[in-house]
Amino acid sequence: MSATDAPDAPIRVLAGDCTVVYDGDGREEHRGRVTVVVKPDNTVLVHDADGYQPVAWLTRADAVACSRDGDFAVDARAGDQRLRVVAHAEDGFARYPASEAGTPVGDCPDCGERLVRTGGAVTCLGCGDRHGLPSGATVTDERCDCGLPRLRVERGQPFDVCLDRDCDPLDDAVTAAFDRAWNCPDCGDDLRILRRGGLLAGCDAYPDCDASFSLPAGTVVGDCDCGLPLFETGGGRRCLDGTCEA
C-alpha cells in the first residue's frame, strides 16, 4: 500500500493559576486559573471559565517553548507577536495523542481502524496511513479488492479508481482515454498525457514545442473554437487552455 505514515503528535494541556501576556498589536495581560492548549501545529490557546473564545491565542506559531522547571511556562512567537504564559501554581499537565478529525469513509484494511476524509486526504486513525486525494475527487461507498474505498474523479470523463494510486492509478485510466486524443494548437503534433506535478496534456514534440495544459476537474462536452476540448467544470465551461479567449 502506498501511503505516508504520520507519527502521532501530542496535544499538550497545562492548567493552573497563570499570568498571560500577549504582545503584538498592543499589549494585553490577564491573570487567572486557565487551561493552556498547545496543538501539534504550534497553535496555542488559553481558555478561562467563560464561553468558547480563548482569553489569548497564537495561531501556528513559528516557535513554541514549554518549560516545566518548577511551575510551567509557555513562550510562543509568530513574527512580531509573542504569547507568554507563566504559572504561579500548577493544577495539571498532560500530553494526549491527536489527529485530524474528518468524515468517516470506511475501515482501514491494514489495522481495522476508521478511515476519515480531512480536506485533501484520507487518513487512518489507527496506523496513520495517509492517501492524498486528486482535486475534485469523491470518495464512494464502493471498495477496491485491496479493501480501500474507491474514488470518482473527473478528468475529461468520470473515472472510478482506487484510493491507493499504486493499486489502480488514475494516470493510467486518463492516459488510456485521452493520450494522443487532441492536437497541439501550436504545432499540430499529438498531445500526450503526462504527470508533471499534476496531470497535463503536453505536446509530443517537446522540447521543440513546449505547449502543455493542465487537465481540469471536469468532463469534455465539445470543442472550443481554438480546436482544443471544452470542459464542463464546477466553475462553468472552459477550454483545456485556461488562458484561451476563444
> Which tens digit of pLDDT belongs to each residue from 134-187?
999 999 999 999 999 999 999 999 999 999 999 999 999 999 999 999 999 999
Tens-of-pLDDT digits for all 246 residues of the chain? 333 334 457 999 999 999 999 999 899 999 999 999 999 999 999 999 999 999 999 999 999 999 887 778 999 999 999 999 999 999 999 999 888 889 999 999 999 999 999 889 999 998 889 999 999 999 999 999 999 999 999 999 999 999 999 999 999 999 999 999 999 999 999 999 999 888 999 999 888 999 999 999 999 999 999 999 999 999 999 999 999 987
Domains along the sequence of the chain with CATH:
9-98 (2.70.180.20), 103-168 (no CATH), 179-239 (no CATH)
> Which tens digit of pLDDT belongs to each residue from 104-116?
999 999 999 999 9
Kind plus residue range of the DSSP H or E element containing 173: helix 170-178
pLDDT of residue 246: 73
Predicted TM-score (pTM) of the model is 0.70
